[in-house]
Structure 1
Amino acid sequence: MRILNLMLAKGRGGLERMAVRYHEALVAEGFEVLSVGHAKGVLAEKIKPEQFARLNSGFTGDPLAALSLKALAKRFQASLVIAHGNRAIALAGHPMAGLGRQSLGVVHNFRFKPSLTKLRTAIAVSPAVQAAITARYPRLDTHMLENFTALVMHPVKTFPLDRPRIGSLGRLHVNKGFDVLIRAIGQLRDRGTELSLLIAGDGPEKAALNTLITELKLEDRVTLTGWIEPADDFVASLDLFVLSSRVEPFGLVVAEAMAAGVPIVSTRIDGPRHILRDGELATLIPPEDPDALADALEALMQDWLPVLDRACHAQAHALETYGLIAGQTRLKSLINQFEPEN
């Protein structure tokens, strides 16, 4: 089967990373794959030139881009199109592309649009996203396929010998709640708790976060490192990983921290709550609550033994469920359900 893997965003967040993972997994499972994306996007950077085609869309629903996509799909003789994100979904379902009935839309978050109904099937990355799609579009065929990646296993953390290193990773966006995390670190400083915080990532909230760090006089404790790629060694160097998001439909970085053997504190929101088995594998706290986050971090640092034991169980679960081989198997099984439509 020949599959066109479409992702038009230029960013470097979870959606963009998963488009690359889909390409790699499909190729590994024996499918012929052509990835199509922006000339400055992550697909152009990560995919072999002979397996990539450039397509820049001026705006959502761009008719010229739709015609270009139609030509690419015809030339490649694509049996299926897998579209990641709203712009790709809108283009695949555009009447001038004529690809709706052979297109599967991967829905990575809750911001999906009515253009999703123009496609054959929706693929949700979590039970919560699938439920949201079904509630809004009950007649749309919907499947659930959890995200996956090439997880890197490290020995489970031991007791920190020095000032604990707290860390987080992600796009510097308001949804990630890094401001809440920084305020929690300020509270711990005021309580006399020694620790450092490193946040790896970049994005539109960088200036605001730097301002907050200065206002709280945390320059000696909080560092914005910028993007770190690959991030495996960074995550493994931490004593605790914190996901402070306000919204997180999945949260693959949580699985990466689990595989690295790093204990986790996360907000109790849809994606991480599912991955962490509703608190069985990590400490969950309410979102938007720096007090609760500070309390949780302080409690964990005062009693490490059960924290590390839970990290062992979390690591085993992540490697079994969210690793590349497990993801490839699930993806192949799902794709094989879709016979090309004439």
Structure 2
Amino acid sequence: MKLLIVIYSLQHGGAERVVANLSALWSARGYEVTVATLASKATDFYVLDKSIRRLSLEVAGESIGVGNALVANLRRILALRRVLRRVGPDIVIGVETTASLLSIFASRGLRCKVIATEHIHPPMLPLGRVWTTVRRYAYPSADHVVALTEKTRAWLEQHCRCKNVKVIPNAVSLPIPVFDPVLEPESIVVPGRRMLLAAGRFTTQKGFDCLISAFSQIATDQPQWDLVILGDGAARSALERQIADAGLERRVFMPGQVGNVAQWYARADLYVMSSRFEGFPMTLLEAMASGCAVVSYDCDTGPRDLIKHGENGLLVEPVGEATSLARALSELMTNDDERVRLASNARDVADAFSPVRTLRMWYDLFAEAGVQDVACRADQWVSK
């Protein structure tokens, strides 16, 4: 079977990591997998398995004005249609809204099946009137739409009139693959210091401004702890100013993107997610599966699908309020036994969100879409 996965880019991010993981797993099962991006290969952070065909449409970029946007998206649709004709996939999977809509339009009249996916709860990340309208009318024509949570499924059914929505959560694959660049944790936090770890793009969504504010409230009372935020993005300068204004340059570190994130989870004493909204957060899932005690804001979707408050982590409300987050962090920083208990329980997500479980859901979906021979492959996967 031929699969074509379409995504904006393979830059650092949760959806991109999912593509890298899933494409490798499908390829290992004998599927012919192609990953196509709108952006150039030069922007790639994740390295795909050598068995996976990698294509770039070279059509990414911002458009100014409605007319330019229409022309740019027509070019993207035509470029993607050429790829569809060349690759001849049985199934096309659009990853996130834009790639999903382009895949729907580019595949019109072709024999391939199209699966659209949403990786963020839609109302938390408005697309603008045009894209929202297009999604509402285009998604019902996809063969299936995949949501990461039940709440997103319900939203899509209500607001996009979709009757073919399936919930398939992300899976965590252990051991976590290693990419460049590799940065040793000990080069940032010296042995003997406690590490509070966070990771993600430096955007408003991830709430690192709230995290820094929370840490500044407890830094004096927790002198043995340092905060490390892995990642990068447009908000870096603002976060650096916030750290400097709080006088925390020697306690808060932002070393950039790393490809050996598993070593950082192993080194961390506590993991924190400060996001204002999420879909199904891969970093939180990986941290828990790696045996980290975790604290997270209880945003609308994502963290509450992984964390059972008080059993395998802590959920904090209200979202975006620094004092509540500081209180939860301090509670675990001062209680080694509780951190160990939560960390031990957190490891169970590795079984609950295993590749076997998630891939079986995908295989069942492929079979439901009418692709031949898939049900047999699903049984073979489970038995191995």
Instruction: Tell me the equivalent position of 1:213.
Output: 243
For 2:91 and 2:273, the matched residues in 1 are separated by 35
Q: 2:363 aligns with which of 313, 332, 335?
A: 332
Gapped runs of 5+ residues in structure 1?
154-160
**Do the aligned residues in 2 keep the contact of 1:8 with 1:57 (CA within 8 Å)?**
no
SS of the residue corresponding to residue 336 of structure 1 reads helix
User: In the alignment, residue 156 of structure 2 is paired with which amino acid?
Assistant: I
User: In the alignment, residue 312 of structure 2 is paired with which amino acid?
Assistant: L
- State the Cα deviation string for residues 258-305 of structure 1 (Å, max 9, x = none): 121111011112201111135531011111121111111111122221
Instruction: Tell me the equivalent position of 1:12.
Output: 12
> 1:63 Cα deviation (Å)?
2.2
Q: Does 1:107 align with 2:118?
A: yes
**Do the aligned residues in 2 keep the contact of 1:36 with 1:52 (CA within 8 Å)?**
yes
> 1:74 Cα deviation (Å)?
2.4
For 1:87 and 1:98, the matched residues in 2 are separated by 20
**Do the aligned residues in 2 keep the contact of 1:148 with 1:322 (CA within 8 Å)?**
yes
SS of the residue corresponding to residue 171 of structure 1 reads coil
**Do the aligned residues in 2 keep the contact of 1:168 with 1:198 (CA within 8 Å)?**
yes
Q: 2:105 aligns with which of 66, 70, 94?
A: 94
Q: 1:277 aligns with which of 308, 312, 315?
A: 308
Instruction: Tell me the equivalent position of 1:186.
Output: 216
SS of the residue corresponding to residue 148 of structure 1 reads coil
Instruction: Tell me the equivalent position of 1:158.
Output: none
More displaced 10-residue stretch of structure 1: 144-153 or 52-61: 52-61
Structure 1 residues 183 and 30: alpha-carbon distance in aligned structure 2, compared to 1, 3 A threshold:
same
For 1:125 and 1:118, the matched residues in 2 are separated by 20
Q: RCO higher in 1 or 2 (8 Å CA, sep ≥ 6)?
A: 1
**TM, length-normalised to structure 1:** 0.89
**TM, length-normalised to structure 2:** 0.79
Instruction: Tell me the equivalent position of 1:54.
Output: 56
For 1:313 and 1:256, the matched residues in 2 are separated by 14
For 2:83 and 2:107, the matched residues in 1 are separated by 13
1:261-340 correspondence runs (5 A): 261-269=291-299, 270-286=301-317, 287-315=319-347, 317-340=348-371
For 1:50 and 1:288, the matched residues in 2 are separated by 40
Instruction: Tell me the equivalent position of 1:39.
Output: 40
For 1:279 and 1:121, the matched residues in 2 are separated by 36
Q: Taking every aligned residue pair, what percent have the same amino acid on both sides? A: 25
Name the count of aligned residue pairs: 333
Q: 2:169 aligns with which of 133, 146, 151?
A: 146
For 1:65 and 1:44, the matched residues in 2 are separated by 23
- State the Cα deviation string for residues 186-205 of structure 1 (Å, max 9, x = none): 11124464311000000111
User: In the alignment, residue 51 of structure 1 is paired with which amino acid?
Assistant: R
User: In the alignment, residue 35 of structure 1 is paired with which amino acid?
Assistant: V
- State the Cα deviation string for residues 137-165 of structure 1 (Å, max 9, x = none): 23341001101132338xxxxxxx94421
**Do the aligned residues in 2 keep the contact of 1:70 with 1:99 (CA within 8 Å)?**
no
Gapped runs of 5+ residues in structure 2?
62-68, 177-190, 373-384
For 2:29 and 2:367, the matched residues in 1 are separated by 11
